[in-house]
Amino acid sequence: MSAIRRILVANRGEIARRVFRTAREMGIATVAVYSDADADAPFVREADLAVRLPGTTPGETYLRGDLVVAAAHAARADAIHPGYGFLSENAEFARQVVAAGLTWIGPPPDAIEAMGSKLGAKRMMRDAGVPTLPWSETVDGAAEIGFPLLVKASAGGGGRGMRIVRDASELADAVDAASREAAGAFGDATVFCERYLEAPRHIEVQVFADSHGNVVSLFERECSIQRRHQKIVEEAPSPAVDDELRSRLGEAAVAAARAVGYVGAGTVEFVMAPDSTYAFLEMNTRLQVEHPVTECITGLDLVRLQILVASGEPLPAEALSPSITGHAIEVRLYAEDATNGFLPVTGTLREFDIAPGVRNDVGVERGSVISPYYDAMIGKVIAHAPSRGEAAAKLAAALRQSRIHGVTTNRDLLVRILGEEDFLAGATDTAYLDRHDPAQLGAPLLDEAGRRAHAAAAALALQAANRAAAQVWPRIPSGWRNNPSQPQHVVIADATGETRVTYRIGRGGAIDLDVDGERLEIAVHACAADLVDASIGGVRERFRVAATPDSGTVDVDSAQGGSSFTVVPRFEDPSHHVAAGSLVAPMPGSVVRVLVEAGAAVAKGDPLVVLEAMKMEHTVASPTDGTVIEVQVAAGQQVDAGSVLVVVDAGDSAS
């Protein structure tokens, strides 16, 4: 095999940037492919060359192996890195790449295929002596496994084609249902029954193999904290794994890799019961999202190792005798509303600045648009410290001080998890977020006093922005009056409601300021549109603010956390009034179904319109008993957030 000189990354976002970074360090040229939605994304700009994949949906773009190979030829790339997701575990694509004379930076297609069948993989692992959960491929055999058990699609993933069965009587129906779902989703109706562990830990081992017969374990990661079967907090090493267990897990993982003739980076996933017994779950034949925690504790660059191995080189010495230094924790930042069922959120990032001192692998920047077309993960933030507690504290502090505005994220949830007692005690498992209410963990970090302080800073920065933009009297004191009759005021709103800040800036900059009628003892040391340096209650703090009176938003960050406010306009154009009883789209999306017609009588809670956004359905229900007086949308229509869908008149129902 010849040296790789130009890598095309068949992926987007943070992982594309991640691969480019190592490629650049190795002196290898980089090629991006991008959909129309990603035309302005940072990863496209950072690549040496980029090739457009027309369209926006993954099916039109990043999943089109033929287009990706053609792009590699067009840009004269000699290797393809698939990243994770999309085509990364598609054996057919891997074969196309190789057939096209390109280097495939990934495991052999046969290994991908072997691990693609859950059932096949389990058999192979059992034969290789790797512990597996007892399973049965027949309904009759299932009884021996015992309940609860899990009905699983062999070709499945992402929770689809899966059923938990707690009683024998439910089994037959569950198998039928899972089988139907699997056939529909994956084109393969094969299902099997497996022992179901309640709330296990998710432990996975990073393995690496080269084409010279070396297979090495780079230790475990724990990724127990998940929501909707997706990991959100990952760490290495696991607080539940000691050296002895680590070596057994490592041996099992290496055995698994050897069993499929593995080459490259792979992850062997295990479930682990409270008694530390563990069983093979599946093997991921790609670089994992959470690979950075392994990089942090081993000091290895896994992408570099992938490139070396794909070039036919042996694993370097440091990879063959790895060791653990400290502890690393990664969190995944998602554009989603953790307090509202993790509903995905779209929008434009007005501000995006991860605090320094931690590693961040992110695919976005200020101004990036979070579109509904792709995964809602906007990046990962990773802290590495001598101990687990220090890593958690460092990561929490960095997240808290990061500036993220314009799009709701799970940041506050992550910060709370990192400081939560069970988490700090290492008591984590896959049911963590069932025991700890995400609505509470995800609530705004700021307490009431913090929110008031941020509201005050917002008002003062807006004031400064107004003065800075003044065309006349620009340097006359703000809000100056020779006959003061009332203070200045501004009304700002966030998710918790509206806040009225009144203030009067007196002689020498002395400020009288109330937040919702409550006097704040405040002394301002410096005040500009982007920074308010003030003592509140005698404690001095710096508030970084982005106040844009024109767009009507004001974002505040301090050591206490972040707030995003919108400015409530003083005046409302009456032509913009929405008729009373109007139900508006809570998010941008497309109308899937309209369930009522004008004139229909509806009861409170009746579904009226179903929207789809970010691959999730959202039902708009009637807030009241009444009559539908107007339907403004039809199925298939795209709507923006705030568009009126249906108008319900509550008055008529009383009669």
Partner 1 sequence: MPVLPDRVDRDAPEFAARREALLELLAEHDRQLGLAIAGGGERAVERHRKRGKLLPRERIELLLDPDSPFLELSPLCAWGTSYTVGGSVVTGIGVVEGTEVLVQAHDPTVRGGAVNPFGAKKQGRASQIANENRLPVVNLVESGGADLPTQSEIFIPGGAGFRDLTRKSAAAIPTVALVFGNSTAGGAYVPGMSDYIVMVEGRAKVFLGGPPLVKMATGEESDDEELGGAEMHARTSGLADYLAVDEYDAIRLGRQIVRRLNRQKLGRPPASSYSEPLHDIDDLLGVVPTDLREPFDPRDVLARILDGSEFDEFKPLYGSSLVTGFGQLHGYPIGVLANARGVLFSEESEKAAQFIQLANQSDTPLLFLQNTTGYMVGKDYEQRGIIKAGAQMINAVSNSDVPHFTINMGASYGAGNYGMCGRAYDPRFLFTWPNAKSAVMGPAQLAGVLSIVARASAEAKGQPYDEEADAAMREMVENQIEAESKALFLTARVYDDGIIDPRDTRTVLGMSLSVAHNNPVKGRRGFGVFRM
**Pairing label, strands 29-34, 49-52:** parallel
Residue with tokens 């220090």: 390
Closest to partner 1 by CB, 369 vs 491, is 491
Label residue 3 exposed, middle or buried (CB < 10 Å: 0-12, 13-18, 19+). Answer: middle
Per-residue contact flags (x/-) with partner 1 for residues 77 to 116, judged by CB under 8 A: ----------------------------------------
Q: Other C-beta atoms within 10 Å of 205: how many? A: 27
Packed helices 109-116 and 118-127: angle between N→C axes, nearest 10 degrees: 100
- Closest distance to partner 1 from the beta carbon of 572 (Å): 8
Residue 321 found at the interface with partner 1 (CB under 8 A): no
What amino acid occupies position 556? Answer: V
d(CA 313, CA 307): 9
Q: Which stretch binds partner 1 (CB under 8 A): 20-28, 84-92, 125-133, 462-470?
A: 462-470
- Packed helices 91-99 and 109-116: angle between N→C axes, nearest 10 degrees: 170
| List 507, 517, 576, 634, residue binding partner 1 (CB under 8 A) | 507
Q: Which of 144, 482, 538, 634 binds partner 1 (CB under 8 A)?
A: 482
Could you say whether residue 509 binds partner 1 (CB under 8 A)? no
- Segment lying near partner 1 (by CB under 8 A), choices 39-47, 132-140, 464-472, 644-652: 464-472
For residues 182 and 505, which CB has a smaller minimum distance to partner 1 in the complex? 505
Candidate segments 54-62, 160-168, 432-440, 482-490, binder of partner 1 by CB under 8 A = 482-490
The correct pick among 421, 521, 550, 573 for binding partner 1 (CB under 8 A) is 573
How far apart (Å, rounded) are the C-alpha atoms in residues 69 and 104? 11
The full DSSP string for 506-518 is -GGG-EEEEETTE
Give the binding range for partner 1 (CB under 8 A) out of 320-328, 552-560, 564-572, 578-586.
564-572
Is 508 a binding residue for partner 1 by CB under 8 A? The answer is yes
Determine which helix (DSSP H) or strand (DSSP E) holds 525, and give its type and residue range: strand 522-527
Interaxial angle between packed helices 118-127 and 243-259, expressed in degrees from 0 to 180 and rounded to the nearest 10: 110
Which lies closer to partner 1 via its Cβ, residue 294 or residue 478?
478
Minimum CB–partner distance for residue 564 and partner 1 (Å): 20
* Among 436, 446, 365, 439, CA closest to 407: 365
Binding-site member from 472, 539, 634, 654 for partner 1 (CB under 8 A): 472
CA 324, CA 295: separation in Å to the nearest integer?
Answer: 10
**Does residue 471 bind partner 1 (CB under 8 A)?**
yes
481 lines the binding site for partner 1 (CB under 8 A): yes
Return the closest-CA partner of residue 561 out of 444, 462, 449, 452.
Answer: 444
Give yes or no for residue 480 binding partner 1 (CB under 8 A): yes
Task: State both tokens at 612.
Answer: 């789809």
8 A C-beta contact, residue 298 and residue 305? no
The one among 120, 326, 419, 479 contacting partner 1 by CB under 8 A: 479
Instruction: Work out whether 571 is an interface residue with partner 1 (CB under 8 A).
Output: yes
User: Could you list the active site residues?
Assistant: 286
Residue (112 or 460) nearer to partner 1, CB: 460
The Cα 105–Cα 72 span in angstroms is 13
Does 483 interact with partner 1 (rule: CB under 8 A)? Answer: yes
Q: Is 2 in the site for partner 1 (CB under 8 A)?
A: no
284 φ/ψ angles, rounded to the nearest 5 degrees: -95, 120
State the residues that interact with partner 1 by CB under 8 A.
462-463, 466-467, 470-473, 475-483, 485-486, 488, 490, 507-508, 549, 570-574
